[in-house]
Structure 1
Amino acid sequence: MGGSIMGKIDAILIAGPTASGKSRLAMELAERHHGVVINADSLQVYDGLEILTARPSAEDVGQVPHHLYGHVDPRADYSAGAYLRDVAALLPGLRRAGTLPIFCGGTGLYFKALTGLLDVMPEIPMAIRAKWRDRLIAEGAEALSAELQRRDPEMAARLGPRDGQRIARALEIVEATGRSLLQLQAGKGPALINPSRAHKIVLAPERAALRERIATRFDLMLAAGALEEVRRFAVHFPDAGPTAIKAIGLAELVAVLGGEMSLDAARERAITRTRQYAKRQETWFRHQFDDDWLRVTSVVDLSQALRLL
């Protein structure tokens, strides 16, 4: 059966909001079609937060091969460009082995990058990045905005004078490449996956059901040792980068460990934030993915999707 589907498609892409059931579907399809699961979630790439980011368990990994989970140091920046390089290194071996790549995750930009619909930025030397981040902290956004006005006035005109992170990003691009961020955004990146040769699925469960699943999952995380995981993470990675620390529940459980919040309050806040995040993800997928993506909203839809494969 694996050979027959590999003759029809080159990959399966499974997107959807957090707690929508992507991982279970990916594993079922991998078992059915001689496939492997490849991460497409920007937080699950980081080491140290297996429970809190809902990474596949050791049992899951033993059952089906998984790639690009937990392989990045939390202190490092990890971009869509870095993700593409990791995928590009992985795909040739899978294709030689006749193994179907099944991409699974909630980071829409990764899917756009895979299919050539996202501009891929150049790697910025750490010294240049640190320089502008330090200046942002020391001088403030408006001072950097004036600097960007001198170096790249067109880009400066598009950014508000208080949008510090984007201003710093634009300045580091100019310094590293000698080109405006606008020029780099004018093209398209390379496609590692041909969209016409991929089966594309977006999971979009009914809102009330998803809200309940999010609450249940966070309780399971706590039962599995999320608080102790956060304690270890804080010890080993006190200087974790700005992306890794966005993991929902991390700040809340750190506050619990510091005596600044009760566990019940942290639980409620983390669940609320996760529900808000899931809503933003679902909105993004609805607006950014075209009709070529099969939108699965119910068990019936899922059964129909599986019959197509």
Structure 2
Amino acid sequence: MHCFATWNEPSARVNAIMGVRPGCSWIAPRSIVCFCVDVELGSSAGRYDALALLGPTASGKTDLALALAEQGPVDIVNMDSAQVYRGMDIGTAKPELAVRQRIPHHLFDVVDPAEAYSAGRFVEEAQAVIRAIRRAGRIPLLVGGTWLYYRALRDGLAPLPPAVPGVRDKLAERAAHLGWPSLHAELVRIDPAAGQRIHPHDAQRIQRALEVWEVTGIPLSVHWTRARHQGLALRTLVLIPDHRDWLHRRIAQRLEAMFAAGFVEEVAGLRARSDLRPDLPALRAVGYRQVWTCLDGRLPP
């Protein structure tokens, strides 16, 4: 059994285990965090395959993960959909390279921004990484705020057809003329259940839902009800701010630090590449699409 006592900041408050899901603890930032983790997470005694650390942007996930890794046999596994992309470091708040070289990190810088990276691919690669970490006798700690990735890993994924570039390109062209809310209205008519779950401005998910419909003739929500791949048992910790204004100040400070570190120059370098477009999934990440739009001479909506 490994015990970790970390994050000795003031305003200590550790929330009790909530009844949202078994194996899920809610922890307030700026707290003294003390908990024990069985190295044999997947054994009958341990019950869990991995740890997962979730929370909103700037809530302190990376700081806590690094503190845990400094005190125990912990490998950090990325669970952020933007940090998988190479060359997108500042705007994604990716841990510095020196830190990633000192402490084992996995699933960072996996693909080029010109490539698509799906939840299905994440699940496949994360499961392989977790198995390798466990075989080495270490503890896998998933860290990130991409709920889709977490849910897919925990609950499993329904089998879906692979992406079809031609179909995606046609949908992107229609969206350029009509706008994504218009395509979302079309999705609501075709698949009310999916339309209700997907936000009218969530371009990536709208595109995927319509793509699945066009390729298979079956609504995405029907695919969701079908047999899923086996999920993992995750011991989940969720960071919840004591006060929203505290989190808002943290976000503002992070944004200022990003601009000071060269975020605009990072986006300009991506924009200079002839193979990248602002409608690619990587460049729809928050911050990147807004800076790209400004560099185009247009203000974001």
Is TM-score (shorter-chain normalized) higher than 0.5? yes
- Does 1:5 pair with 2:14? no
- Does 1:50 pair with 2:86? no
Q: Tell me whether 217-226 or 233-242 shows the greater mean CA deviation.
A: 233-242
Whole-angstrom distance in 1 between the partners of 2:133 and 2:91 = 29
Counterpart pick for 2:166 among 127, 135, 159: 127
* Equivalent residue, structure 2, for 1:90: 129
Q: Tell me whether 231-240 or 38-47 shows the greater mean CA deviation.
A: 231-240
Which ranges of structure 1 fall in alignment gaps of 5 or more residues? 262-268, 274-309
Superposed CA RMSD: 3.7
Work out whether residues 136 and 168 of structure 1, in 8 Å CA contact, stay in contact via their aligned partners in 2: no
* Equivalent residue, structure 2, for 1:249: 287
Q: CA distance change for structure 1 residues 134 and 241 in 2, over 3 Å: closer, same or farther? A: closer
Instruction: Among all aligned residue pairs of Structure 1 and Structure 2, give the percentage whose two residues are the same amino acid.
Output: 36
Counterpart pick for 1:199 among 235, 241, 244: 235
Q: Cα distance, 1:40 vs. partner?
A: 0.9
Secondary structure of the corresponding residue to residue 102 of structure 1: strand
Which ranges of structure 2 fall in alignment gaps of 5 or more residues? 4-36, 41-45
Counterpart pick for 1:99 among 138, 148, 151: 138
> Could you report, residue by residue, the CA deviation over 1:191-234 in whole angstroms, capped at 9, with x for unpaired residues?
4421xxx3211111121211111111112112222222122121
Secondary structure of the corresponding residue to residue 18 of structure 1: coil
Work out whether residues 119 and 152 of structure 2, in 8 Å CA contact, stay in contact via their aligned partners in 1: yes
Q: TM-score, normalised by structure 2?
A: 0.70
Secondary structure of the corresponding residue to residue 56 of structure 1: coil
User: What does 1:1-309 align with in structure 2 at a 5 Å threshold?
Assistant: 5-7=38-40, 8=46, 9-116=48-155, 119=158, 121-134=160-173, 137=176, 155=191, 159=195, 169-187=208-226, 189-194=228-233, 198-205=234-241, 206-236=243-273, 238-254=276-292, 257=295
Work out whether residues 113 and 189 of structure 1, in 8 Å CA contact, stay in contact via their aligned partners in 2: no
Q: Cα distance, 1:27 vs. partner?
A: 1.6
Q: Tell me whether 29-38 or 231-240 shows the greater mean CA deviation.
A: 231-240
Give, as a single letter, the amino acid of the residue that structure 1 aligns with 2:167.
Answer: I
> Would you say how many aligned residue pairs link Structure 1 and Structure 2?
255
Work out whether residues 39 and 104 of structure 1, in 8 Å CA contact, stay in contact via their aligned partners in 2: yes
Whole-angstrom distance in 2 between the partners of 1:14 and 1:43 = 17
| Structure (1 or 2) with the greater helix fraction | 1
Give, as a single letter, the amino acid of the residue that structure 1 aligns with 2:235.
Answer: H
Give, as a single letter, the amino acid of the residue that structure 1 aligns with 2:86.
Answer: D
Q: CA distance change for structure 1 residues 22 and 167 in 2, over 3 Å: closer, same or farther? A: closer
Q: CA distance change for structure 1 residues 240 and 36 in 2, over 3 Å: closer, same or farther? A: farther
Q: TM-score, normalised by structure 1?
A: 0.69
Q: CA distance change for structure 1 residues 167 and 62 in 2, over 3 Å: closer, same or farther? A: closer
Q: CA distance change for structure 1 residues 64 and 171 in 2, over 3 Å: closer, same or farther? A: same
Q: CA distance change for structure 1 residues 186 and 212 in 2, over 3 Å: closer, same or farther? A: same
Whole-angstrom distance in 2 between the partners of 1:59 and 1:193 = 30
Give, as a single letter, the amino acid of the residue that structure 1 aligns with 2:89.
Answer: E
Q: Cα distance, 1:103 vs. partner?
A: 0.4
Give, as a single letter, the amino acid of the residue that structure 2 aligns with 1:209.
Answer: W
